[in-house]
Structure 1
Amino acid sequence: MTTPRETILAALHARLSALPATALRGEVLPERVPAEGLLILRDGEPGEPEVTLSPLRYHYQHRAEIEAVVQGADRDAAFDTLTASIGAALSADRTLGGLCDWVKAEAPRPVDLPIDGAASLKAAVIPVVLHYSTSAVDVPT
């Protein structure tokens, strides 16, 4: 049985996979960054839920992370395009098809990472807060 957490993370990954960049989930940074950019979804932490009793519901504010990485001579423009596409994809449906109450991405904090013998990387971690409720404790598997 798939938990609501896994269903929501799979839907978020599917949303990211529709973007031109390569979207991975829980993978290590590959040796080569695709020209369109790279997104790696990290599952993050569901945290402790708030509980309501009648009816019994567990309300989560799950913090996942998207690692966004670009490489190349025009990496500033590519990074801006990539992060804007993430924002547009999330704002198009803030409920991920009704799976979440709300999805909110926080601002990225970009860094330039020099690579010996290759073009520098521009990368950022983008925190994404997934608000959802379930009738059972969403125990990670």
Structure 2
Amino acid sequence: MPSTRETILAALHARLSALPATALRGEVLPERVPAAGLLILRDGGPGEPEVTLSPLHYHYQHRAEIEAVVQGANRDTGFDTLCAGVGAALAADRTLGGLCDWVEAEAPQPVDLPVDGAASLKAAVIPVILHYSVPDPLG
């Protein structure tokens, strides 16, 4: 049985997979970026929990990251569309079907990355904070 953390990350990946862009989890950047863009979910880490003792619960603010990448002539518009799609997907259900207490994204810091012999990439990391509580830090 998967842990709460894994279940939440899988649900986040499924939510990203519903977007037109290709959504991967924990993969390396492929040689080609699809025309609709690319999203790579990085699991990140849960950080130090706050603990309540009665009943015992660990309250996490897990910081995952989504790498958003576009390439092509209209990369500024494509990047904006990709980020807006991620925002809309998260806003549609801030609890990922009741799996966590709240999901929120932070603003991306886009950069242009030159590529030898090809159109440059526009990319950013979108931090996503997953708020959830568990009775066991390994569960």
Q: Normalization by structure 1: what TM-score? A: 0.97
* Cα deviations by residue, 1:72-99 (Å, 9 ceiling, x for unpaired): 0000000000000000000000000000
Runs of 4+ in 1 over 6 A off after TM superposition: none
Q: Residues of 1 paired with 2:124 and 2:98: CA distance? A: 28
Q: Residues of 2 paired with 1:53 and 1:14: CA distance? A: 33
Measure how far apart 1:48 and its partner are: 1.2
Task: Specify the alignment match of 2:13 in structure 1.
Answer: 13
Q: Match for 1:59: what amino acid?
A: H
Q: How many residue pairs end up in the alignment?
A: 139
Task: Specify the alignment match of 1:64 in structure 2.
Answer: 64
Gaps of 5+ in 2: none
* Cα deviations by residue, 1:92-119 (Å, 9 ceiling, x for unpaired): 0000000010000000000000101100
Gaps of 5+ in 1: none
Q: Normalization by structure 2: what TM-score? A: 0.98
Task: Specify the alignment match of 1:43 in structure 2.
Answer: 43
Within a 5 Å distance, the mapping from 1:37-116 to structure 2 comes to 37-116=37-116
Q: Residues of 2 paired with 1:15 and 1:74: CA distance? A: 25
Task: Specify the alignment match of 1:117 in structure 2.
Answer: 117
Identity among equivalent positions (%) equals 83
Q: Residues of 2 paired with 1:138 and 1:113: CA distance? A: 38
Q: Match for 2:105: what amino acid?
A: A
Measure how far apart 1:137 and its partner are: 1.0
| C-alpha RMSD of the superposition | 0.7
Q: Residues of 1 paired with 2:51 and 2:2: CA distance? A: 21
